[in-house]
Amino acid sequence: MRSIRIFMLVTLLSTIVLVNFVSALQGYRASMAEAQQLFDQQMAATAQLLSAMPVPQKIPVVVDHTGSMAFQVWADEQSLLMRSNNAPQTPVSTFAEGYREINFSGYRWRVFTHHAADLGAWVQVAERIDLRFQLADRVILESVSPILIGIPVAGLLIWLILGRGLSSLRKLAAALQEKRAEDLRPLPIDSPPVELQSVVSSTNALLARLQGSFDRERRFSADAAHELRTPISAIQVHAHNVERELSESSGGERQLAHKPDSLAKLQASVERMSHLVEQMLDLYRTTPDHYPARFESVDIYTLAREIIAENYAGFAAREQQVELRGASATLDGDRFALSILLKNLLRNANKYSPEGGRIEVSVRPLNDAVELRVEDSGPGIAEEEYARVFERFYRIGGDRHTSTVEGCGLGLSIVQHIAQLHHADIKLGTSHFGHGLSVQVRFPRRGPNREQATDESIAQGETNHA
pLDDT, mean over the chain: 80
461 pLDDT above the threshold of 60: no
Name 76's Cβ contacts closer than 8 Å, sequence gap at least 6: 120, 121, 122
133 pLDDT above the threshold of 90: no
Query: pLDDT tens, 233-292?
Result: 777 777 777 777 777 666 555 444 556 777 777 766 777 676 666 766 666 666 666 566
- Numbered ranges of CATH 1.10.287.130 in the chain: 183-247+261-291
- Numbered ranges of CATH 3.30.565.10 in the chain: 294-451
Closest CA to 27 of 144, 151, 138: 144
CA torsion 323-324-326-332 (nearest 10°) is 150
Q: Which CATH architecture has domain 183-247+261-291?
A: Orthogonal Bundle (1.10)
Query: pLDDT tens, 49-90?
Result: 888 887 776 678 888 877 778 998 888 888 888 888 888 888
The pLDDT assigned to 342 comes to 93
Rounded Cα gap, residues 349 and 447, in angstroms: 27
Q: Which helix (H) or strand (E) holds 298?
A: strand 296-299
Rounded Cα gap, residues 395 and 398, in angstroms: 5
Angle CA(230)–CA(231)–CA(237) in degrees, nearest 5?
95
What is the band of 181 on the pLDDT scale with cuts at 50, 70, 90? low
- Numbered ranges of CATH 3.30.450 in the chain: 4-146
Query: pLDDT tens, 350-381?
Result: 988 989 999 999 999 988 899 999 999 988 88
Does the domain at 294-451 match CATH 3.30.565.10? Answer given as yes
What is the band of 441 on the pLDDT scale with cuts at 50, 70, 90? very high
Closest CA to 360 of 382, 380, 344, 376: 376
Name 370's Cβ contacts closer than 8 Å, sequence gap at least 6: 300, 329, 330, 331, 363, 364, 442, 443, 445
Q: Which residue has the higher pLDDT, 458 or 254?
A: 254
Give the number of C-alpha atoms closer than 13 A to the C-alpha of residue 376, restricted to the C-beta side. 22
What is the band of 462 on the pLDDT scale with cuts at 50, 70, 90? very low
CATH topology of domain 4-146: Beta-Lactamase (3.30.450)
Closest CA to 35 of 149, 135, 108: 135
Rounded Cα gap, residues 28 and 243, in angstroms: 110
